[in-house]
Amino acid sequence: MQHISRTHRSHVIAPSILSADFARLDDEVQRVVAAGADWIHFDVMDNHYVPNLSIGHMVCQSLRRRCSVPIDVHLMVQPVDALAERFAEAGADLISFHPDASTHVDRTLQQIHAAGCKTGLAFNPAEPLGRLEWVIDKVDLVLIMSVNPGFGGQSFIETALRKVEQARRIIDASGRDIRLQVDGGIKVDNIRRVAEAGADTFVAGSAIFGQPDYKAVIDAMRAELAATEAQEAAA
């Protein structure tokens, strides 16, 4: 299995199966992995922290047996701790949660690590990065939301770019191997700007599953990312 942690310059594309056809979920996952997905992004919504309901740890457990790439679980739930435990048991590789949904953020991060998973801290569009500084030694991924969580297919919120830049500075200053993920409204035509702001891990749901040819979309995204890399190398 591929490792979650790689140097921040390697780009990871993580299709969100929220926009997949749930009636054919295994087939959808196989197809998107064959099309070049690096990770599977697994959105968990509880109709409490966000006004929508999606899939839970039992689905994660079934997929884990059939999926050859890391499963990146994005918990949009409150409270966090008990469900994080269930997802760790279900074989999640990385578990992200929203700090405002956990009463004791540091403890939740410790529990996820103790359960054998990587940790992610997710920041909503109006949520500042303030708490990150105090727990950065326990964080493996910072997730910047570029939509309000709860639904696929929303438009990218532009102010997220500035927050990505800010997160990039904080991560680099920490000297730790932390991935910087952006989630929401990512398409072929904006992924380059998101990468240029400093992101290395890209979630895309409707942009990929909304098209018949997943490989064409992922290839087009990679071509955009390669252009960013070429630009950086030339600079």
Catalytic residues: 43, 183
Contact yes or no for 99/121 (Cβ under 8 A) = yes
Which range binds ligand DX5 by CB under 6 A, 129-137, 168-176, 199-207, 219-227?
Answer: 199-207
Pick from 70, 99, 120, 152 the residue near ligand DX5 by CB under 6 A.
152
Q: Which of 61, 154, 166, 174 binds ligand DX5 (CB under 6 A)?
A: 154
**Residue 205 interacting partner from ligand DX5, Zn ion, none (CB closer than 5 to 8 Å by kind):** ligand DX5
Query: Which residue has the CB atom at the shortest distance from ligand DX5?
Result: 205
The string of DSSP letters for 145-163 reads ESS-TT-SSPPPPTTHHHH
Asked whether position 36 contacts ligand DX5 by CB under 6 A, the answer is no
Read off the tokens for 3.
Answer: 């490792």
Taking each helix axis from N to C end, the angle separating 214-234 and 25-34, rounded to the nearest 10 degrees, works out to 40
Q: Print the binding letters for residues 51-80 with ligand DX5: x by CB under 6 A, - otherwise.
A: -----------------------x-x----
Nearer to Zn ion among residue 91 and residue 184 (C-beta): 184
Binding site for Zn ion (CB under 5 A): 43, 74, 183
Q: Which two tokens stand for residue 164?
A: 């990505």
Question: Is the distance from CB of 197 to CB of 161 less than 8 angstroms?
Answer: yes
130's CB contacts (< 8 A; 6+ apart) are: none
Determine the angle formed by the axes of helices 81-89 and 57-66, rounding to 10 degrees.
20
Number of helices (H), then strands (E), belonging to the chain: the values are: 9, 8
Smallest separation (angstroms) from Zn ion to the CB of 184: 7
Task: Work out what residue 185 binds among Zn ion, ligand DX5, none; the CB cut-off runs from 5 to 8 Å by kind.
Answer: ligand DX5
